[in-house]
Structure 1
Amino acid sequence: MHFARRLGLAFLFALASIASLAASAAANPLLLVDIDTLEVLEAQEAGQPWHPASLTKLMTAFVAFEQISLGNVSLDTPVTLSKAAVALPPSKSGLPADSAVSMQDALYILLVKSANDMAVAIADTVGGSEAGFVALMNDAARRMGLSATHFSNPHGLHDPSQVTSARDLAVLSLYILQNYPQYAPIFGTEEVTIGKRVYESQNALLTKFAGTTGMKTGYVCSSGLNIVATVERGGRRLLAVVLGASSGRERNERAAELVLRGISGARTGQNLIALPNQAGAPVDMRPMICGAQAKAYVAAQEAAFPMGLEGQPSYLTDTVAARSYAASDLGRIRTGVPLPRPRPEHMPVTIVPTGQPGAVAEAELRPGLSATVTAAGIPFPRPRPNF
């Protein structure tokens, strides 16, 4: 009798623990934004500080795009992998030290494969060093008004001081889409080949959710599984952010569900720029993703959100042709030999911050309305981008 009672109490305790974990999971950040109006269609803990994992590479790409536009590097500039870059843990390209690819190919491998070694190689090439490049990343974050964001490295491998929020990731992503639409195909590419090597994206929406145009996934134990996804459906362009998922299934299904709710009419009336960030330390998901609580946490997540599980319905049922890109190995290039760098054909432009330090005027984050200057400081009008 006493044994049965103890067993019953243990069972109830386990249920309570799973319920507690599920409740905490329900607070994970979710955000859906209308790309064209900046209206927040749905938000949940969007200002909560969070570890970005490989979503860091969105800023790595932005800084590279910006430096290309300024003429400091070009898409043809060789990007060489150092021994330090090659020594990083996966995900990585697998290319040996001193291997080189063009900047364009490096950006594809960075964003499709989420290669950590390529992130450092780009940082060394663009910033002169990893530390110099990280300084450029944090300067860009300041100019964008990303008040919850700080970068410590260009790849997203865990660092306690590397932090952002769903709100800031959405703003960063929209700056990329607005100011550098010519690079949109990279974010929508599912596969990159280089010789016999094949690098595949972890963004399942690209091939299973019609209308998906990009952008990036990320994962470390302390962040859980993250995604920023952009979708065009029914004349609408939407951007979804999901942070802290327990699995790739949950991450992708939740992003698709957010988009479908937005198309169905979900809205808050808020503007993304006005959405506040929260103070405090970032959430550490390690105990629930990689620690002792992981098994119970995943079970709770599956019970609370079963979409995509075996025998359950799924939002990811479309068949979409995968976009592929072929990169080229330039071979092994020793560093220290100066190489010519051709200037880009277009006029270099850069964003100018307005208002107080770190503040961004709402009008700056809309296609065709950004305040820009040439490298010489002379205002230069740009036509509205053709998305």
Structure 2
Amino acid sequence: MLFARRLVLVLMLALLSLMPARANPMLLVDMDTFDVLYAQEAGQPWHPASLTKLMTAYVAFEQIALGKATLDTPVVISKKAFNQAPSKSGLAVGSALTLQDALYVMLVKSANDVAMAIAETLAGDEAGYVALMNDAARRMGLTATHYTNPNGLHDPAQMTSARDLAVLSLYIRQSFPQYMPIFGTANVVLNGKTLESENKLLQSFAGTTGMKTGFVCASGLNMVATVDRNGRRLLAVILGGSSARDRNEHAAELILRGLSGSAQPNGQTVLTLGNNPGAAPVDMRPLICGKDAKTYVAAQEAAFPMGLKGQPSFLTDTVAATSYVATDLGRIAVGVNLPRPRPVHLPVFTTPTAEASLDGALRPGMPATASDAVPFPRPRPNF
């Protein structure tokens, strides 16, 4: 028995030696100057998974700025939206949310059904909204990015890069700062159920302000994280993590390197950083969900054990969770006034002007934090 155990151990070690830890895309950017502090495979095309919803949100913000929708526009769950694969909101066909609540549920819970419902509501159908997403990507100069759906469910043709995700995130922050609190919300309560964010930095890494996580087998575990600490505002992109622990700890480590000064500007900005033209996106499916997954994850753990049982962690802070309450409007007909007036209350967000929000240039040093003129979101009153 002892000999057999030793043999198994030797075989496992041999397998690990044959599958070295993979260096996946990582990027660290100073959000005030756009300076690149660290870059590893930042231009490599990658499947975005639910990081797609960053662009879904951006297009929705643009539609509001253009006056084509408001935060009170009803977003109805169609049969097509209901049939999207998880993660989902739990809403039935025909149920509705305000666009504001839908944005919270989509970005915090990463609800694929709500992302599809937003697309159908604002553009008439999925194809029309995807066209708006790709047009925005073109205007931003996201040369490695192409969208085929609004929620990030896997499609081989849906791709982006760490560089493009950083630029997109900076556009959101610069053009629509009033919506940034959505990305920093840890959970949403809907119909009595608490829908949790997968961004665990929000509750375990001080200064985290957002933004989004994503996962499909072909992408591994992805993250865009933003942190505001000690006067520094940093953005980290991690793609292809082997586990949530791997992704979260790598993001925290990268940000700490920037805060400590060990990661310094390399002479490039995120705008001058290049993509890899013509390269195919990496398919992580065999390593994440296939027969090689167990061996691959073990190799990644051996190379980067932070956060494993008995090992130190970068995620040791206790941060109070920010919660939001969304309201299921039930089955309503679009265009029909609600049967009761809303209670008088201050708006959660100020309406952005088209001139300020749709400025096509991304500018270093542009203030992008909520000012006194932009009220911080409050919970919706209970009816």
TM-score between both structures, scaled by the size of structure 1: 0.86
Taking a change above 3 Å as real, the CA distance of residues 145 and 338 of structure 1, as seen in their structure-2 partners, is: farther
What one-letter code is carried by the residue in structure 2 that aligns with 1:271?
T
1:239 match: secondary structure: strand
Taking a change above 3 Å as real, the CA distance of residues 161 and 254 of structure 1, as seen in their structure-2 partners, is: same
What one-letter code is carried by the residue in structure 2 that aligns with 1:177?
R
Output the CA distance in 1 between the equivalents of 2:169 and 2:304: 27
Output the CA distance in 2 between the equivalents of 1:347 and 1:256: 35
Partner residue in 2 for 1:38: 34
Q: CA deviation at 1:289?
A: 0.2
* C-alpha contact 1:178 1:385 (8 A) present in aligned 2: no
**5+ residue gaps in structure 1?**
354-360, 370-382
Show the 5 A alignment for 1:95-134: 95-134=91-130
Show the 5 A alignment for 1:283-298: 283-298=282-297
Partner residue in 2 for 1:332: 331
Partner residue in 2 for 1:309: 308
Output the CA distance in 1 between the equivalents of 2:176 and 2:300: 37
Output the CA distance in 2 between the equivalents of 1:282 and 1:16: 29
2:313 match: secondary structure: coil
Output the CA distance in 1 between the equivalents of 2:109 and 2:194: 9
Determine what percentage of the aligned residue pairs are the same residue.
64
What one-letter code is carried by the residue in structure 2 that aligns with 1:58?
L
Q: CA deviation at 1:21?
A: 3.1
Output the CA distance in 2 between the equivalents of 1:318 and 1:121: 36
Q: CA deviation at 1:365?
A: 5.4
1:33 match: secondary structure: strand
Partner residue in 2 for 1:376: none
Partner residue in 1 for 2:217: 221
- Which runs of structure 1 show a deviation greater than 2 angstroms over 4 or more consecutive aligned residues? 10-23, 337-340, 344-353, 363-366, 383-387
Residue 173 of structure 2: which of 171, 177, 182 is its match? Answer: 177
Partner residue in 2 for 1:87: 83
What one-letter code is carried by the residue in structure 2 that aligns with 1:202?
E
Taking a change above 3 Å as real, the CA distance of residues 209 and 352 of structure 1, as seen in their structure-2 partners, is: closer
Output the CA distance in 2 between the equivalents of 1:218 and 1:159: 14
2:271 match: secondary structure: helix
* C-alpha contact 1:368 1:385 (8 A) present in aligned 2: no
Output the CA distance in 1 between the equivalents of 2:337 and 2:123: 16
1:22 match: secondary structure: coil
* C-alpha contact 2:32 2:364 (8 A) present in aligned 1: no
Taking a change above 3 Å as real, the CA distance of residues 347 and 232 of structure 1, as seen in their structure-2 partners, is: closer
Partner residue in 2 for 1:148: 144
Output the CA distance in 1 between the equivalents of 2:72 and 2:304: 46
Residue by residue over 1:284-314, the C-alpha shift from the partner in whole angstroms, topping out at 9 and shown as x without a partner, is: 0000000010000000011000000000000
Q: CA deviation at 1:195?
A: 2.3
Q: CA deviation at 1:347?
A: 2.8
Residue by residue over 1:40-59, the C-alpha shift from the partner in whole angstroms, topping out at 9 and shown as x without a partner, is: 00110000000000000000
Taking a change above 3 Å as real, the CA distance of residues 12 and 282 of structure 1, as seen in their structure-2 partners, is: farther
Partner residue in 2 for 1:272: 270
* C-alpha contact 1:178 1:365 (8 A) present in aligned 2: no
1:184 match: secondary structure: helix
Output the CA distance in 1 between the equivalents of 2:234 and 2:375: 16
Q: RMSD of aligned C-alpha atoms?
A: 2.4
Alignment: residue pair count: 354
Partner residue in 2 for 1:68: 64
2:134 match: secondary structure: helix
Structure 2 residue 353 is the aligned partner of structure 1 residue 347: yes
Output the CA distance in 2 between the equivalents of 1:59 and 1:366: 22
Output the CA distance in 2 between the equivalents of 1:130 and 1:21: 40
* C-alpha contact 1:367 1:384 (8 A) present in aligned 2: no
1:36 match: secondary structure: coil
Residue by residue over 1:66-109, the C-alpha shift from the partner in whole angstroms, topping out at 9 and shown as x without a partner, is: 11011100000000000111111100101000000000000000
* C-alpha contact 1:52 1:163 (8 A) present in aligned 2: yes
What one-letter code is carried by the residue in structure 2 that aligns with 1:140?
A
Taking a change above 3 Å as real, the CA distance of residues 386 and 20 of structure 1, as seen in their structure-2 partners, is: farther
Residue by residue over 1:256-294, the C-alpha shift from the partner in whole angstroms, topping out at 9 and shown as x without a partner, is: 000000111112222110000013100000000000100
Output the CA distance in 2 between the equivalents of 1:277 and 1:248: 26
Output the CA distance in 2 between the equivalents of 1:366 and 1:150: 28
Taking a change above 3 Å as real, the CA distance of residues 239 and 124 of structure 1, as seen in their structure-2 partners, is: same
Output the CA distance in 2 between the equivalents of 1:174 and 1:86: 31
TM-score between both structures, scaled by the size of structure 2: 0.87
Output the CA distance in 2 between the equivalents of 1:323 and 1:368: 23
Structure 2 residue 250 is the aligned partner of structure 1 residue 254: yes
Partner residue in 1 for 2:342: none
2:354 match: secondary structure: coil
2:154 match: secondary structure: coil
**5+ residue gaps in structure 2?**
339-349, 377-383
* C-alpha contact 2:176 2:352 (8 A) present in aligned 1: no
Partner residue in 2 for 1:198: 194
